Amino acid sequence: RTAEAIARFGYGPNDTGSSASQMAILSVRIQALRDHLNANPRDKHNKRNLILMVNKRRRHMKYLRRTDYEKYREVMVGLGLH
């Protein structure tokens, strides 16, 4: 699923560093971790990791919105975040 996200939102097939790719990768990881935490609600360590990933994605979103608004809108609609 990560490779699909990179192919869909990245600037190239090997683009893993751009903010758009990072947002997509983090969204895939957040979704997987959210599913895990629903099955294992007492897993406090991974709950902390989920919070850290959400905040990192939020910072990437803020940067992308400031620098390339069109790409930001495309990624937000594609990920279903907005």
Query: How far is residue 20's CA from residue 35's CA, in Å, rounded to a whole number?
Result: 23
Count other C-beta atoms under 10 Å from residue 56's C-beta. Answer: 15
Are 59 and 29 a contacting pair, CB within 8 Å?
no
Mean confidence (pLDDT) of the chain: 95
Query: How far is residue 46's CA from residue 54's CA, in Å, rounded to a whole number?
Result: 12
Of 8, 22, 3, 2, give the one whose Cα is nearest residue 77: 8
Mean pLDDT by 10 residues, the chain (82 residues): 90 90 96 98 97 98 96 95 85
Work out the angle between the directed axes of helices 44-67 and 19-39 (0-180°, nearest 10).
160
pTM of the model: 0.92
